Amino acid sequence: MLTQAPRGTKDVLPAESYRWQYLESKMRAAAALAGYREVRTPVFEHTELFLRGVGDTTDIVQKEMYTFRDKGDRSVTLKPEGTAGAVRCFLEHNLYADALPCKMYYLNAPIFRYENPQSGRLREHHQFGVECFGAKEATADAELILLAYRLLQDLGIRNLSVEINSIGCPKCRPVYHERLKEFLGSRIDKMCATCRERFDRNPLRVLDCKEKQCQELTADAPNMLDLLCDECSAHFGQLQDCLRGAGIPFRVNPRIVRGLDYYTKTVFELVTETADGKLTVCGGGRYDNLVAQIGEQDIPAVGFGMGLERVLMLLDSEGIEIPKPRQYDVFVTYMGENRPHAFALVQAMRREGIRADLDHCGRSLKAQFKFANKTGAPLTAVIGDEEAASGSVKIKNMATGEETTVPVNEACGKVRAMIG
C-alpha cells in the first residue's frame, strides 16, 4: 500500500516529464495566439457548485465525484471538470464587467472522477481547457474547434476527425425530449440500467451511452437537428460556414450529446480511431445558460476540455517523437582531492547557463565516466592532478573521443563552442 499509488492515478516520472512540458508549451502557445490567457482555480470547490453547474442528472454528479466533508464540516469536491470553476471565478471577480469576451484557459488542471480505470480512463487526469465568456456568435465556437484541431495537427496527430452537432436550446429541446422519449419508450426495457435511469431524468444522455446494445437500439433515434428552432439552426449553419471557410474537415454527427447537462447549441468532439475503438481527445460546446444558472449574469459562453493523458497516448500510438532535452551539456569528472575545483567549475558553468554536474556519490574516476555516459551528456570535463596543477581542464567530446585542454577560465566558452 505504502509504495503504491491509488488506483486510476499515474505518476509522471522525471525521465518523462519533458513530454508533458512539451505539450504544455504547445498548448500555451496555441491559446495565446487566439488571445486566451491563463486562469488558475483551486483543485476543490464547494460541492454545490458542481451540483448546480454540472447538473445532478449526469454520471459525474451521480456516481463519480470525490466529495468529502472538511474539518469545518463543509462539503467540498475535487474538480470533476474545469468549466464550473472557471464560471465561478468569472463571476466572483466580476470579470464580466470588463469588455467581453473574456477569454481564458487552464492547463494541466487535475480532474477527479471515480470511474472504472482502463486504458485512457483514469481517476485523476489532466485537462487543457479553453473558455470564452460573453461571445454568442458562432465564430467563437468555430475558433475553439480550430484551436483544438490545429494544436493536435501541429503536434503531428494525423488520424483525427472533428464531429459537431447542435443540441438546441431550452426553446427547442423540450420538443425533442418528447419525441425521443416516445421513441425510447418501447425499447428502454432492453437498455442498460444507467439508460433506464437517464430515460426519466435526461433522455438525451441515452444517446451518449457507450454500451453496444444501447447504441444499436438507438441507431435510428429521431434527430435533434430536424427540430432546431430558427435561432439554433442559423447558429449551427454559421458554425459550419466558418469551419468550411477555414478548410478543416468535419462531420455532423447527431449522436454527439456530451456528458454534461449545461450544453446548448454547439457540441463537438475531436476523435480518433484506435485499436480499442473510438477515443475522444477533446470535447466541448456552448453553454449559454450556465453562467446564469450559477450567478445572476446572463452571459453566453463556449469552451472545450482536452485530456493531456489522451493526447500523449495518441502521440505514442502514432509513433510521434517528442524532442528530448538533454539532462546535462557537460559532466565534470575529477580525481579525489580536486573535488573543490570541480565543484567551482560546475557552479561557474551553471551561472553561464550551461547544464553541468559532477559526481555526488563518491565514485571513482572510471565510474564517473561511466555515469556521465549514461546521462547522455555530450561532453565531459576532466580535472585530474595534471589539470589541477596547471589550472586547466580537459574537455572530451563523448561522441568522437576528441579531447582539448584549455585554461579553466576558458572552459565555459569552449563548452559553449563545442555544443553549438
Nearer to ligand ATP, 283 or 300 (CB): 283
- Backbone phi, psi, residue 187, to 5°: -115, -15
- To the nearest whole angstrom, how small is the minimum distance from the Cβ of residue 147 to ligand ATP? 15
**Residue 119-158 contact track with ligand ATP, rule CB under 6 A, x = bound:** -xxx--x-x-------------------------------
Q: With CB under 5 A as the contact rule, which of the stretches 93-101, 189-197, 259-267, 286-294 interacts with Mg ion?
A: 259-267
Q: Is 239 in the site for ligand ATP (CB under 6 A)?
A: no
- To the nearest whole angstrom, how small is the minimum distance from the Cβ of residue 365 to ligand ATP? 48
- To the nearest whole angstrom, how small is the minimum distance from the Cβ of residue 191 to ligand ATP? 18
- To the nearest whole angstrom, how small is the minimum distance from the Cβ of residue 336 to ligand ATP? 52
- To the nearest whole angstrom, how small is the minimum distance from the Cβ of residue 187 to ligand ATP? 22
Nearer to Mg ion, 56 or 410 (CB): 56
- To the nearest whole angstrom, how small is the minimum distance from the Cβ of residue 312 to ligand ATP? 10
Q: With CB under 5 A as the contact rule, which of the stretches 12-20, 164-172, 258-266, 302-310 interacts with Mg ion?
A: 258-266
Residue with nearest beta carbon to Mg ion: 259
| Contact residue for ligand ATP among 222, 254, 259, 384 (CB under 6 A) | 259
Q: Is 113 in the site for ligand ATP (CB under 6 A)?
A: yes
Three-class SS of the chain: CCCCCCCCCCCCCCCCHHHHHHHHHHHHHHHHHCCCEECCCCCEEEHHHHHHHCCCCCHHHHHHCEEEECCCCCEEEECCCCHHHHHHHHHHCCHHHCCCCEEEEEEEEEEECCCCCECCECCEEEEEEEEEECCCCHHHHHHHHHHHHHHHHHCCCCCCEEEEEECCCCCCHHHHHHHHHHHHHCCHHHCCHHHHHHHHHCHHHHHHCCCHHHHHHCCCCCCHHHHCCHHHHHHHHHHHHHHHHHCCCCEECCCCCCCCCCCEEEEEEEEEEECCEEEEEEEEEECCCHHHHHCCCCCCEEEEEEEHHHHHHHHHHCCCCCCCCCCCCEEEEECHHHHHHHHHHHHHHHHCCCCEEECCCCCCHHHHHHHHHHHCCCEEEEECHHHHHHCEEEEEECCCCCEEEEEHHHHHHHHHHHHC
- To the nearest whole angstrom, how small is the minimum distance from the Cβ of residue 366 to ligand ATP? 46
Nearer to Mg ion, 120 or 295 (CB): 120
The option from ligand ATP, Mg ion, none interacting with 81 (CB < 5 to 8 A, set by class) reads ligand ATP
Query: If binding means CB under 6 A, how many residues of this protein chain bind ligand ATP?
Result: 19
Q: Tell me the residue ranges of DSSP E strands in 80-229.
A: 102-112, 124-133, 161-166
Nearer to Mg ion, 45 or 64 (CB): 64
The option from ligand ATP, Mg ion, none interacting with 54 (CB < 5 to 8 A, set by class) reads none
CA 20 to CA 207: how far, in whole Å? Answer: 34
CA 93 to CA 70: how far, in whole Å? Answer: 25
Cell triple for residue 118?
Answer: 482502463
Nearer to Mg ion, 127 or 338 (CB): 127
The option from ligand ATP, Mg ion, none interacting with 303 (CB < 5 to 8 A, set by class) reads none
Nearer to Mg ion, 259 or 295 (CB): 259
Cell triple for residue 112?
Answer: 477527479
Query: Binding to ligand ATP (CB under 6 A): which residues in 52-91?
Result: 81
Q: Tell whether the torsion through CA atoms of 373, 377, 379 and 382 is positive or negative.
A: negative
**Residue 283-322 contact track with ligand ATP, rule CB under 6 A, x = bound:** x---------------------xxx-xx------------
The option from Mg ion, ligand ATP, none interacting with 310 (CB < 5 to 8 A, set by class) reads ligand ATP
Query: If binding means CB under 5 A, how many residues of this protein chain bind Mg ion?
Result: 1
| Residues near Mg ion, by CB under 5 A | 259
| Residues near ligand ATP, by CB under 6 A | 81, 113, 115, 120-122, 125, 127, 258-259, 280-283, 305-307, 309-310
